[in-house]
A and B are shown apart, each in its own frame.
Chain A
Amino acid sequence: MYRPILVLAGLLIFGSPGNAAATLQDVQRLMTKKPETCAAFTQRKTLRALKRPLISTGQLMVATGGGIFWQVLDPIETRLIINRNTLIQWGDNNVPKTRDLGQLPVFHALTKVFLAVVSGELLALSESFTVKTTVVQDHWNLELVPRDPKLLSVLASLSVSGSGNVESLSIQESRGDQIQVRFRNIAIEKCKLSTEEKRFLAK
């Protein structure tokens, strides 16, 4: 909450740090911010090794405090929670396991961008990415390229777009695979969490 105000103050004092930031500010203005978000999503992974894309649908919740609960409902149920730098995944035999997000660089970048956009901390993005912004009326689009060469070696680019809310996010991996996720905001009540999930999300 405080960050944008501070940054704004920074801008007033030091002037504009550059075009990207200035337009990021524009984008920021276009976004509706909510402490909690519940969205339905459709994910489309296009992997070169597979004959057809892997399509999955489910729900996603961003909780107050920045934790994400990501649940695939179809074609198979999977759940995961992201909290700061840890990932809790209900994997084999449905046992929750903690993973180091650093080992999943692509997914880590994806959630980082997603969270930055949802929580309205867009300016932080230019620390790790070079950002190209386009705004057409109330619709915005961000093209992000990782600054870290190591991340760049697996993730070529990332783009996120929407109007009030984030509508789509897509990733181009360096080795040719693609991931595209479309979001549609739904009523917050639809995202129901079990006590166990709430506990992990609150951690």
Chain B
Amino acid sequence: MRSKLIAIGLAASICLAFVWLVNRDADQQFINSDIMALLPFGERDQLINTAVAGVTKRFERRLALLIGAADFDTAVRAARHVSDRLKQTGEFSDLTLEYEEDFAQQSFSFYRDLRFRILGNTVRDQLVAANLQRFERDTLKRYFSAGTMVNSSLINFDPLLLLPQFLEEREDEVRGRPKIKRGLLTVEDGGKIYVVLIGKLSGTPFSYAVQQKLMPLLKGFQVELPDHFAGSDFVFAGALPHAAAGTKSGINEMSTVGLGSMIGIIVMLLALFRSAVPFVLTLSTIVLGCVGGFAACLLVFGEVHLLTLIFGSSLVGISVDYSLHFLCERFRFRSDWSPAEALRHILPGISLGLITSVIGLTGLFFAPFAGMQGMALFSSVGLLVAYGCVVFAYPLLTLRLPPPKLYQPLMWMRQYGRAWSQTNTRNMWIIVSGFGIFAVVGSSNLVVSDDVRLLQSPNVEVVADETRVRNLIGRDLASQFFLVEGNDESDFLRREELLTSRLRAHQRTGKLTGYLAISDFMPSPARQRENLELHKRLIATDKGTLARISDRVGLSTDIQNAYRAAFERATEERPIDFKHWFSHPVSEPYRHLWLGKTERGVIGVVGLRGVYDLEVLREVSSIDPRIHFVDPAGEISTLFGRYRLQTIWLTLFSYVAVLLLLILRYGVKGGAMVMLPPAIAAITSLAVLGLFGEPISMFNVMALLLVLGIGVDYALFYRETGVENPETLLAIAMSLLTTLLAFGLLSLSATAAIHSFGLTILVGISVAFLLSPLAGVKFGTERAIPEGKG
């Protein structure tokens, strides 16, 4: 009775620890669904990593909402309704509806005062190349064209019409199709007018709480809005819908896997025992294992990743093995049931099983992926708890375990075991080599994929909405970008100008649609001096460009002279300061490009649109060590490739380590025979993937670690209890069924990585099971040694 209390006390304390950990900080999020959080940072220095993380954070928190209606007024009312409702949630740090209508006017007057220090890029390039003919022709076009903003007041201070050229060019880079109409950003499309609402979330879109709060509301707008505002229509895009869809499918998969294997276990145990005790015990063990694993992850990492839970929930399924081995002993001791005796019988097997599984999982712990480490911890602790339950609690709780009712499966297993033990060595090797040939043929078809999309399976609806928003806004933002460092603001601008001059060259050859850089709006002091110099060449002499254009259009000498005088005054002024621009409203749309101070100086972003040649852009960054090209998706793929190779070595290492351990216990031959089934199983599972044309990635290689862990388990039990031991075979068969169920369900996952992980294990452990009697086969002198147990 006292021991029972201890067992219950232990279980209760695990649960309490879990409850305490979860409640430690009520606002904290425990389940992370950000796939990228699983991944390690790139191989750049910490400062750049921080900057990249900062940019990513800004990107993923943005949400673009478009509210359309047949007429402007309805659209505005609907947009206000949406904006008000969203503001009430308190989840937005910024939700801009109204814009400064006079933004264009503000820019005009801000840059008018600086007009000799700025130049549009097209004009600048013409002037730098001394292509004055072209410049003159373009200027005359501005005077004579029908649609032109030329008027007397402009000519009076800007007779070369350089300011409109500069502003138009900036306008082209910044805004896609949306225009400001009565203070609102709008797009017209297909007979409808859309109000564009840009929101910034105050928290990460990967938080389950944020998703729960916002997604029903946003989805609701898509349904309800047309009822409240006739003909209205709502579409939105951003990282949030992607994250929410990911979480939803993750949770679905997790519950499918969890529920599926639980039902499998219940059905199996009920069929065998016709009693509730075995499955209640088993399920409690699994739940305790999961709770223990979850608690350990919270303690070490502070959160549990959704993928860890998905992988982990099936891994803890392995822990059911220990329970099953124990329960199947009830077949052996029918009349003289003694839990202590049963435990003694299986203890060596499950202890060695635990050690080898943990070795296999330790391999995962050294895997470079944070999520994999979580998975290793989750599973190791889960297995340990399950082992503890079986070893310490089962003997006390199963004193009155009813005898099994269904013996048929035991008979089948006995026949299967006999078949193996009666097979002669030659036939055995024929089977083994059969698998070997299949493995070689299959493996030769293997293809490799390290694509980042392995971890992401975008939701079709979300992608469709995103495409619609992108088409409406008319902007195709690339996921790649540049980071530019500088000692200070001026140095930063100077380096950025070096970069953008290269980018413009690639833009002309169609390798890039466009870019967005601060220095285009705020030239460096050096560039300001250059611009002054270029202006000077245009206006200096009486026979220069200004004079020639004046002749053609009839500019008075007064205006020319006034312009020259204004220029002279401007040269004496100090260059415009970056901080002045940054604090002025005109910089507002571009401030997100500025990341601010670092320990090495300052850093900012250059955004890209329509990237058609990654290699060329990558090369551009080599012009300056402080210019960095960032391609998040590409980097992850490269990392996946590298880690695939690393995990292959890791797996080989684990296999060798387990082999050495087995040799230590069973000698060279015995060890090799125990190792043979999982080894063949591993290669066969690769072969099946090859034949199915499923590409392999690091995730398959990691699955092989588990095939090792589980496969060695099966082989070990055989080796420890002998071939003629149907109870062991039955326990293994049942554990196989539960594991197959768990991983089989995993292979239905929508996420490519999880799917192929599940499939590899499915094939691997099936083969490991079928071949596991090999481990029990004794050769020559070994056969003579009598087995004590069995």
Contact = CB atoms under 8 A, between A and B. Distances in A.
A56 B141 CA distance: 11
B123 interface: yes
Contact of B149 (A48, A80, A82, A103): A103
Contact of B153 (A53, A82, A175): A175
Given A54-B143, A87-B147, A103-B104, A49 B152 contact: yes
Contacts of B456: none
A100 B179 contact: yes
A71 B320 CA distance: 82
B461 interface: no
A54 B553 contact: yes
Interface string B458-481: 000000000000000000000000
Main SS of the interface on chain B? helix
B137 A49 contact: no
Contact of B150 (A47, A70, A97): A47
A50 B555 contact: yes
Interface centre among A50, A84, A85, A92, by most B CB within 10 Å?
Answer: A92
B39 interface: no
A172 B677 CA distance: 94
A85 B187 CA distance: 11
A51 B148 contact: no
A176 B123 CA distance: 30
A8 B142 CA distance: 43
A89 B150 contact: no
B141 A76 contact: yes
25 contacts: A45-B150, A49-B156, A50-B553, A50-B554, A70-B147, A72-B145, A76-B140, A76-B141, A78-B144, A80-B146, A80-B147, A85-B188, A91-B141, A92-B120, A92-B165, A97-B168, A99-B147, A102-B181, A104-B148, A107-B148, A173-B151, A175-B151, A175-B152, A177-B151, A177-B152
Interface in B537-574: 552-556, 559
A151 to B, nearest CB: 14
A49 B120 CA distance: 24
Given A51-B554, A76-B144, A93-B138, A104 B152 contact: no
Nearest to A81: B147
Given A50-B155, A50-B554, A106-B151, 7 more contacts: A49-B556, A78-B146, A92-B138, A97-B168, A175-B151, A175-B153, A176-B152
Given A43-B146, A50-B554, A72-B145, A93 B122 contact: yes
B145 A89 contact: yes
Contacts of B146: 43, 70, 72, 78, 80, 107
Nearest to A57: B144
A92 to B, nearest CB: 4
B134 interface: yes
A54 B152 contact: no
Contact of B147 (A51, A82, A102): A82
Nearest to A90: B141
A43 B148 CA distance: 13
Contacts of B599: none
B720 to A, nearest CB: 77
B45 interface: no
B172 interface: yes
Contacts of A173: 151
Interface residues of A, number: 39
A110 to B, nearest CB: 8
A202 B263 CA distance: 63
Per CB-CB distance, the 5 closest pairs between chain A and chain B, nearest first, are A49-B152, A49-B155, A51-B554, A52-B554, A78-B145
Contact of A54 (B137, B144, B153, B172): B144
B169 to A, nearest CB: 8
A85 B189 CA distance: 11
A185 to B, nearest CB: 18
A172 to B, nearest CB: 12
Interface in B121-171: 122-123, 134, 137-138, 140-153, 155-156, 159, 165, 168, 171
B140 A92 contact: no
Contacts of A103: 104, 149
Contacts of A106: 149, 151
A75 interface: yes
A41 to B, nearest CB: 9
A82 B147 CA distance: 9
Contacts of B151: 47, 106, 173, 175, 177
Given A47-B152, A50-B553, A76-B137, A89 B147 contact: yes
Interface string B645-664: 00000000000000000000
Interface in A25-43: 43
B666 to A, nearest CB: 78
Contacts of B171: 100
B123 A92 contact: yes
Contacts of B142: 91
B510 to A, nearest CB: 13
B590 to A, nearest CB: 19
A91 B138 contact: yes
A76 B553 CA distance: 12
